[in-house]
Structure 1
Amino acid sequence: MAETSTSARPFKKVLIVGAGPSGLLLAVLLSKHGILVHIVEASHELDQQPRAAHYGPPAIPELARAGIIDLLPESGGMRLNSMSWRRFEDHTRVAGFNGGVLRDAGSVEAFATEDLRTACLPMQDLDAILLDTFLTKYNGQISWRHRVTNVGGQENGSEKAWVEAEILTGGLDMTKATVAETVRLEADYVVGCDGAQSIVRKSLFGNEYPGKTWDAQIIATNTYYDFAGKFDFDDANFIIHPEHFFMAAKITKDGLYRVTYGETPGLTLEQYRERQPWKFETMLPGHPKPDEYKIVNFSPYRMHQRCAPKFRVGRVLLASDAAHLCNPWGGLGITGGFVDVGGLVDCFTGIWDGRADESILDLYSEKRIEKYKTIIDVVSSENFRRVSDSDPDSRLSRDEWLQLCKKAEGDVEFTKGLLLGSMDVRYDFTQHYTK
C-alpha cells in the first residue's frame, strides 16, 4: 500500500456496498493507492452462482493493475484464443476469429499489460482471489451480514455519505435471518456495487431504472463436456438458432465450459431442470445423454437492458450492474462493470492526489452513461439478436460483424485492429487532471 497521510488528503474513506466482483476490484484498486476502504455485504459469503466467467479486452488493464491477471493460471483460469459463430444443424463455422493476436496488443497503448486476450475464470473463483488480495495484502475491512436499507449523502452540500444497515443473525438461509441491530456507517463517499436490485440505486431513484427486460429466458450452466476434443469447437462458440441458440465457452483449463442456452419463458425452476436433459440432447453436438456430461451449476436468468439516470448524486455513486445492465451475450456486462471501476478509481485517485476536483465525478457519470448508450447497449443487443436470429442461413449476408470476421481470417493485423475496436468502451479520465 502506498504510504499516505489521510489528514492531508481531500477525503479519508470510501464505503462500498456489495462484495461482488466490481465492488472487490474497486476495493483492491483504491486500497493499492492508499485509500481507506470498507465493504459491507448482506450475505455471509461470496456469491456461488454461475454468472460471468469471461472478462473481455477492455477489462484486462484493470485486472492487470490490480495484480490479479497473473494469478489466474494458478487458479485454473485461462486466456481465450478463438471464437466462432456456428450453424445449429451440423455445428460448422459461419465465421470467427483468432483472439490470440491480442497477446501483445497492449503495446499499442499505455495499458498495464501487453496481453489483452479475454481472461476466463468462473466469477466465484475470481471473487475469491480479489477478496483474498483485499484482506491479506491490504488489510481491508469487510462487514458480512450487513444488509443496507438506506443511503444518505446525495443532497447538495453533504459533507459525508452514510448507509443504514441491518446486522443479520441466525442461520445461513438469508430469508430466515433475523435483525440483531441497525447501524449507521459513514464515509466520505458511498459506492453502490450491489447488483441489479441495488439498494443504493433505489435510495437515489426509487424503482426508476430505465430500459427494458427481454421477452426471453436463458439458463446458465457450468458443464464438463468435451466440445474441443470430440467436435473441434473453439474456445468460445455461439450457435445460431431462434429456439435452440446457445453458447459453449471454455472457462478453465481442465475443460469446464459455460453452457448458456435459451429456454421457454415463464416456467418454474423445477420445469427448467426437467427439460435440461432434452435441451442438451437436442442442441449439443453428439446429442449427449446425461451420463456423457457433468453439470456443476445451473441457474435461470432473465435478461435486461437498463441504465440509471445518473451514476453520481452528491457523495453517492453507482458502478457495474447497480448502474447499468445488459444481456450476457458477448460478456459486456461484467467487462463494462470493470471498466466503470477503472474509470472511477482514476477519478477518486485524481481527487486524492490533488490533481482533480470533485467535478471529475460528474464527468465519470456523464462519460460512463455515454459509453453504455452508444456501445454496451447497442453491441450487446445485436449480439443477442445474432445468436437468436430467426433465419440463421442468411445471417452472414446480413451481418456486418460476421462479414468483418470472415475478412479477418488469416490477416493478423486486420484481426488485431478489429478486436482492439472493443477498447472504445474505455474512457481516459486522467486527461482531465488539472495538476
Structure 2
Amino acid sequence: MADPAAGRPFKKVLIVGAGPSGLLLAVLLSQHGIPVHILEASHELDQQPRAAHYGPPAIPELARAGIMDILEKNGGMRLNSMYWRNFSDHTQIAGFDGSVLKDAGNVETTLTEDLRTACLPMQDLDALLLNLFVTKYNGQVSWRHRVTKVDQNEKSAWAEIEVLAGDLDLTKATVSETLRIEADYVVGCDGANSIVRRSLFGDDYPGKTWDAQIIATNTYYDFAGKFGFNDANFIIHPEHFFMAAKITADGLYRVTYGETPGLTREEYVERQPWKFETMLPGHPKPDEYKIINFSPYKMHQRCATSFRVGRVLLAADAAHLCNPWGGLGITGGFVDVGGLADCFIGIWDGRAEESILDLYSEKRIEKWKTIIDPISSENFRRVSDADPTTRLGRDEWMQLCKKAEGDVAYTKELLMGFMDVRYDFTQHYTK
C-alpha cells in the first residue's frame, strides 16, 4: 500500500484526548488523507452531561465533517427560539427567533446554508464522530493510554504514556507498561486539566474561576407543552437563575442552574428537589420530572498564553475556557479545530508555510479575548443579575433583540454577527 505521507511536509499528527474537539479534528484531517493517532486515558467516551448546543459558528465545521447530514437521524435537532424570562411568572423579557438562519446563505462553505444552532447530547455527538473516524477513515484510537508528558525537538514531538490495566477507574488502574509515541505534531485536545498544556506551561493558565456553583442536569419535563417555553430559556434571578433548553427531539432538556458554593455533591443531590420545586414553572414534585444526569461543576474564564510552542499545539478547553451560558465554550472549541485543520491541510498540500500555525495561535487567542470572553462573561452576569426587573433597561443586547422582533432581515443580521468568532486561515495560503 502506498504511503499517504510520501512527498508530504509531515507524516502524522498525534491528538491527545478523544473528546468532541479531538474527534472533530481527527475527522477533518483524515478526510484530507492526513494520518492521525488519538490517545485517550479512559476506556470509553465521556458519559457525563456536558455541552449539547453547538452555535452557528460551529455548524460549518460539523457540516464538512459530515455530522449535519446524520444529526437528526440520530436523535439531534435544531434549536430556534431563545428567550430570557422573568423568574416570578416566567414571562418573556426579550429574545430572538433563530429560525431566520435556516437559510443563511453560503458562509465560507458550500456544505451548508442552515446555520441554526444544532442540539445533541455531547456523548452522542462524540459517538457519531468516533464512528466516522474509525469506520470511514480507519482511524487509530489508543484507549487507556494516559499521557504523562509531551516533549519535542527540531524533528519531531512525542507523548510519554502509561498504558493502564486493571480497574476501569483511572485513579485505581495500574500501569502495565510505559511508551513513547512520536509524530510530527502533537495537539492537546485533552480538556481543562490538559497534560499537554501543563507540559508546556506548568500550572500557568491565566484567568479566573467564578465564585459560583453550577449544576448541569439532563431532565425530562414538559416545559413547552405545559408552560409555553421556547427551545432555549434563560431565567434571570440572582439566586435561582437557570437555563432550560431542548437537547433532543423527544423532549429531553438541559436544565442548568446555580447553587450555593462550597457544598458536597451529596448535599447538592439532596437539595435538588427543593431547587426544582422553587425555580421551575409549575413548582413540580420529583414524580413530575425525570433526571437522567446530574453533574456539579465550576466555571472558569481562562486562556493559555500561546496555543503553539514549536510542534505542540492546543485547542478547545486545553487552550481556553469560558462559562457555559451561551454555548461559546464548545462552539469556540469547534471553530478552533476547524481553523487548525485548515492550517495543517495547507501545510500538507504545500500551500502554506509552517508559520501559519503561529497565526492560528495569534488569531484564536484574539477571538477569545475580543469575543468569547467578554460575551460569555456578560451572558452569565445577565442570567444572574441582582436586579432582574431593571435588566432590560441596562442591557444593550436585550434591547437589540427587542428591536429585532418581527424584523426577519434585522434579526438575521444581528445573529450573523456571531460568525465573527470564526477566522478564515485559507486566505493565508501562499499557493
**TM-score, reference length from structure 2:** 0.99
Matched, 1:177 2:176: no
Other-structure match for 2:259 = 263
Question: In structure 2, how many angstroms separate the alpha carbons of the residues matched to 1:120 and 1:191?
Answer: 26
Post-superposition shift, 1:107?
2.8
Other-structure match for 2:376 = 380
Note the alpha carbon deviations across 1:181-208, whole angstroms, 9 max, x for none: 1000000000000000000000000000
Question: Do the aligned residues in 1 keep the contact of 2:90 with 2:281 (CA within 8 Å)?
Answer: yes
Post-superposition shift, 1:108?
5.3
Matched, 1:32 2:28: no
Question: In structure 1, how many angstroms separate the alpha carbons of the residues matched to 2:343 and 2:190?
Answer: 20
Which residue of 253, 270, 273 maps to 1:274? 270
SS at match of 2:95: strand
- 2:378 maps to a residue whose letter is E
- 2:269 maps to a residue whose letter is R
Other-structure match for 2:348 = 352
Question: In structure 2, how many angstroms separate the alpha carbons of the residues matched to 1:176 and 1:25?
Answer: 30
Question: In structure 1, how many angstroms separate the alpha carbons of the residues matched to 2:244 and 2:389?
Answer: 20
Other-structure match for 1:186 = 182
SS at match of 2:164: strand
Question: Do the aligned residues in 1 keep the contact of 2:300 with 2:321 (CA within 8 Å)?
Answer: yes
Note the alpha carbon deviations across 1:221-256, whole angstroms, 9 max, x for none: 000000000000000000000000000000000000
Q: Taking structure 1 as reference, are residues 270 and 288 closer, same or farther at Cα in structure 2, changes over 3 Å only?
A: same
Post-superposition shift, 1:17?
0.1
- 1:69 maps to a residue whose letter is M
Other-structure match for 2:311 = 315
- 1:17 maps to a residue whose letter is V
- 1:53 maps to a residue whose letter is A
SS at match of 1:49: coil
Other-structure match for 1:331 = 327
Post-superposition shift, 1:360?
0.1
Question: In structure 2, how many angstroms separate the alpha carbons of the residues matched to 1:109 and 1:357?
Answer: 22
Note the alpha carbon deviations across 1:38-96, whole angstroms, 9 max, x for none: 00000000000000000000000000000011111111110001000000000000001
Question: Do the aligned residues in 1 keep the contact of 2:15 with 2:26 (CA within 8 Å)?
Answer: yes
Question: In structure 2, how many angstroms separate the alpha carbons of the residues matched to 1:59 and 1:253?
Answer: 20
- 2:167 maps to a residue whose letter is G
Question: Do the aligned residues in 2 keep the contact of 1:4 with 1:34 (CA within 8 Å)?
Answer: no
Which residue of 215, 224, 235 maps to 2:211? 215
Matched, 1:163 2:162: no
Question: In structure 2, how many angstroms separate the alpha carbons of the residues matched to 1:14 and 1:337?
Answer: 18
Equivalence map 1:36-435=2 (5 Å):
36-107=35-106, 109-110=108-109, 112-153=111-152, 158-435=154-431
Question: In structure 2, how many angstroms separate the alpha carbons of the residues matched to 1:54 and 1:270?
Answer: 28
Note the alpha carbon deviations across 1:22-49, whole angstroms, 9 max, x for none: 0000000000000000000000000000
Question: In structure 2, how many angstroms separate the alpha carbons of the residues matched to 1:82 and 1:102?
Answer: 11
SS at match of 1:8: coil
- 2:396 maps to a residue whose letter is E
Question: In structure 1, how many angstroms separate the alpha carbons of the residues matched to 2:221 and 2:289?
Answer: 5
Note the alpha carbon deviations across 1:366-420, whole angstroms, 9 max, x for none: 0000000000000000000000000000000000000000011100000000000
How many pairs align? 430
Question: In structure 2, how many angstroms separate the alpha carbons of the residues matched to 1:336 and 1:307?
Answer: 12
**TM-score, reference length from structure 1:** 0.98
- 1:238 maps to a residue whose letter is F
Question: In structure 1, how many angstroms separate the alpha carbons of the residues matched to 2:322 and 2:12?
Answer: 31
Question: In structure 2, how many angstroms separate the alpha carbons of the residues matched to 1:84 and 1:332?
Answer: 17
SS at match of 1:361: helix
Question: Do the aligned residues in 1 keep the contact of 2:4 with 2:34 (CA within 8 Å)?
Answer: no
Give the fraction of aligned pairs with identical amino acids, expressed as a percent: 82
Question: In structure 2, how many angstroms separate the alpha carbons of the residues matched to 1:289 and 1:111?
Answer: 48
Post-superposition shift, 1:106?
3.2
Question: In structure 1, how many angstroms separate the alpha carbons of the residues matched to 2:199 and 2:10?
Answer: 23
SS at match of 2:365: helix
Question: In structure 2, how many angstroms separate the alpha carbons of the residues matched to 1:146 and 1:139?
Answer: 19
**Which consecutive aligned stretches of 4+ in structure 1 deviate over 3 angstroms post-superposition?**
108-111
Post-superposition shift, 1:111?
5.0
Q: Taking structure 1 as reference, are residues 129 and 411 closer, same or farther at Cα in structure 2, changes over 3 Å only?
A: same
Greater shift, 66-75 or 209-218, is seen at 66-75
Question: Do the aligned residues in 1 keep the contact of 2:60 with 2:109 (CA within 8 Å)?
Answer: no
- Where do 5+ consecutive residues of structure 2 fail to align? none
Post-superposition shift, 1:160?
0.3
SS at match of 1:252: coil
Post-superposition shift, 1:7?
1.3
Question: In structure 2, how many angstroms separate the alpha carbons of the residues matched to 1:410 and 1:109?
Answer: 28
Question: Do the aligned residues in 1 keep the contact of 2:52 with 2:121 (CA within 8 Å)?
Answer: yes
Question: Do the aligned residues in 2 keep the contact of 1:50 with 1:222 (CA within 8 Å)?
Answer: yes
Other-structure match for 2:11 = 12
